[in-house]
Amino acid sequence: MSHLKYHNLIAGQWLPAASGKTSLNVNPADHADIVGEFPSSGAEDVNRAVEAAKAAFRIWRLVPAPKRAEILLRTGILLQERKEEFARQMTREMGKVLAETRGDVQEAIDEAFYVAGEGRRLFGVTTPSELQNKFAMSVRMPVGVVGLITPWNFPMAIPSWKLFPALVAGNTCVIKPATDTPLSTYNLVQTLADAGIPEGVINIVSGGGSDAGQALVEHPDVRAISFTGSSAVGSHVGQRAAATFKQVSLEMGGKNAMIVMQDTNLDLALDGALWGAFGTTGQRCTATSRILLQRGIAGAFTERFVARAKRLKIGNGLDESVEVGPQVNASQIETSRKYVEIAKNEGAELLCGGHTLTDGACANGTFFEPTVFAGVKPAMRIAREEVFGPVVALLEFDAFEQAVEIANSIDYGLSTSIYTKNVNRAFAAMRDLEAGITYINAPTIGAEVHLPFGGVKQTGNGHREGLGAIDFFTTWKAVYVDYSDKLQRAQIDNAE
């Protein structure tokens, strides 16, 4: 089957990589299905893209924010029209099931409508001056050229979390999508172009992290980097970006705990656990990867959870009856396999799964069985390290305080959840769980775009997407207007 060839978008032109190199985008559910061929870009392409973004910034920063926002509104409407087509393409390129890729496109639509409203806000602050006949205010300014590096697990939603707030604030962008999923980001950028984004305001350069990504992080004219990916790569990005004093937003790993108290509705907790652990084949940074069970319900929960995990239908996500798609590539499968070995060697008990699937509907792809480990102790690596696959660890506890301690005993702090009918415990959990997100009676996944998204500890470096994105993509300017017609010296002329 022939496939389409895609190009970089630089200064409004669709161009191949300067080196002419390309890479194939392959369907992880069916390796015979080539989704497209994409440029493998390097520093030369990034330099051109940054040049284009720099030139466009001179004009874009002066377009009134409500006008910039109208383009985002139109983008949201176009995405609604294209939702089904884009969802199908996304399932082909990264494997998650259609219901979820529709959700991914919907998240970009939600973000467009949310951020479009921001065009008429971008509020600043006024405050009294300490001097008479002097006016003081703080206004938000764009940062300049921003570099966006995005992951494969939400290949349209996460680029939208970064692009839309950056654009409405008046920045120009160079985006480097994940090598496994350039198409969904191209679809998003094409839609922005169709909605009227001027040339050079958004540039897309596809390629590997160590060439295109690195060049973007190191480019002296890029003023901010927003990165979502692993903590290992994020640490490198932060250190390299510091050399040129960039603002950096890092959104990284998780080992998200769901606490199940014995006073809960067990059916509800089971539904949530199954969705949180195996939705997106466990490949969310918010995935429920630890389930902490209070002793009284641990046996019953475990038995029913494993029975349901075994029944999950695995296969090509384009088949609407499939519940769990493939992992995105062979190296992710390898990580899942490796952690199964680690967990077994640590003494955890494998209750189901643990293998790659190579038969029937799974014959031509990278599939891994939903995998459950019980008897997991907080010190084990399977309880502390991110797998990013369909592998979940069950731990037991006696009292609520102990569950909180276990939940907090790791290096990550993205999402947490508690199932309980006890309102006092729920409020204590909201206060005490060390994470950027806490759910009550819902699993650890399912964040909505207009709330702050991000985490503490090794999950992030303090920034937030969603509600916090405008803060990251703007810089404050203090403005003083003295209308006294004389020299007034702050801290001196008003002193007693």
Q: Which of 52, 146, 273, 285 binds ligand UN1 (CB under 6 A)?
A: 285
Identity of the residue, 226 or 474, whose beta carbon is nearer to ligand UN1 in the bound complex: 226
Minimal distance in Å, beta carbon 445 to ligand UN1?
A: 4
Q: Which two tokens stand for residue 257?
A: 């705990």
Identity of the residue, 26 or 449, whose beta carbon is nearer to ligand UN1 in the bound complex: 449
Scored b (16 or more CB within 10 A) or e, 187-202 reads bbbbbbbebebebbbb
Q: Which two tokens stand for residue 276?
A: 């949180």
> Does 44 participate in catalysis according to the annotation?
no
Rule CB under 6 A: say whether 101 interacts with ligand UN1. Answer: no
Minimal distance in Å, beta carbon 439 to ligand UN1?
A: 10
Annotated catalytic residue: which of 100, 107, 251, 323? 251
Stretch that binds ligand UN1, among 32-40, 163-171, 301-309, 439-447 (CB under 6 A): 439-447
Concatenating the DSSP letter of every residue in 87-126 gives: HHHHHHHH---HHHHHHHHHHHHHHHHHHHHHTT----EE
DSSP structure class, residue 198 = P
Rule CB under 6 A: say whether 397 interacts with ligand UN1. Answer: no
Rule CB under 6 A: say whether 457 interacts with ligand UN1. Answer: no
Rounded CA separation 453/455 (Å): 7
Identity of the residue, 407 or 447, whose beta carbon is nearer to ligand UN1 in the bound complex: 447
Rule CB under 6 A: say whether 105 interacts with ligand UN1. Answer: no
Q: Which of 286, 316, 336, 417 binds ligand UN1 (CB under 6 A)?
A: 286
> Cβ neighbours of residue 294 under 8 Å, at least 6 residues apart?
259, 260, 261, 262, 396, 397, 398, 403
Beta strands in 411-473 (DSSP E): 412-413, 415-419, 437-440, 456-457
Q: With both helix axes pointing from N to C terminus, report the angle between 98-118 and 157-168 in degrees, rounded to the nearest 10.
A: 10
Stretch that binds ligand UN1, among 111-119, 175-183, 278-286, 340-348 (CB under 6 A): 278-286
Region of residue 460 (phi > 0: left; psi between -120 and 50: alpha; otherwise: beta): beta
Stretch that binds ligand UN1, among 49-57, 217-225, 403-411, 441-449 (CB under 6 A): 441-449
Centre a 10 Å sphere on the Cβ of residue 32 and count the other Cβ atoms it contains: 9
Q: Which two tokens stand for residue 317?
A: 């996500």
Rounded CA separation 387/29 (Å): 20
Cα torsion 308, 313, 253, 475: sign: negative
Identity of the residue, 10 or 112, whose beta carbon is nearer to ligand UN1 in the bound complex: 112
Minimal distance in Å, beta carbon 251 to ligand UN1?
A: 7
Q: Which two tokens stand for residue 7?
A: 């190009």
Rule CB under 6 A: say whether 205 interacts with ligand UN1. Answer: no
Q: Which of 236, 284, 290, 425 binds ligand UN1 (CB under 6 A)?
A: 284
> Does 285 participate in catalysis according to the annotation?
yes
Region of residue 397 (phi > 0: left; psi between -120 and 50: alpha; otherwise: beta): beta
Q: Which of 163, 403, 447, 470 binds ligand UN1 (CB under 6 A)?
A: 447
Minimal distance in Å, beta carbon 326 to ligand UN1?
A: 17
User: Closest Cα to residue 289, out of 450, 399, 435, 160?
Assistant: 435
Rule CB under 6 A: say whether 256 interacts with ligand UN1. Answer: no
Rule CB under 6 A: say whether 394 interacts with ligand UN1. Answer: no
Rule CB under 6 A: say whether 435 interacts with ligand UN1. Answer: no
Stretch that binds ligand UN1, among 21-29, 92-100, 281-289, 392-400 (CB under 6 A): 281-289
Say if residue 303 is exposed, middle or buried (CB neighbours under 10 Å; 0-12, 13-18, 19+): exposed
The whole-angstrom distance between residue 300's C-alpha and the CA centroid of its chain comes to 34
Rule CB under 6 A: say whether 452 interacts with ligand UN1. Answer: no
Rounded CA separation 458/437 (Å): 14
Binding residues for ligand UN1, total number by CB under 6 A: 9
Rule CB under 6 A: say whether 225 interacts with ligand UN1. Answer: no
Annotated catalytic residue: which of 111, 285, 369, 396? 285
Identity of the residue, 294 or 416, whose beta carbon is nearer to ligand UN1 in the bound complex: 416
Region of residue 33 (phi > 0: left; psi between -120 and 50: alpha; otherwise: beta): beta
Query: Which residues from 136-165 bind ligand UN1, rule CB under 6 A?
Result: 153-154
Binding-site ranges for ligand UN1 (CB under 6 A): 107, 153-154, 284-286, 445-447
Catalytic residues: 251, 285
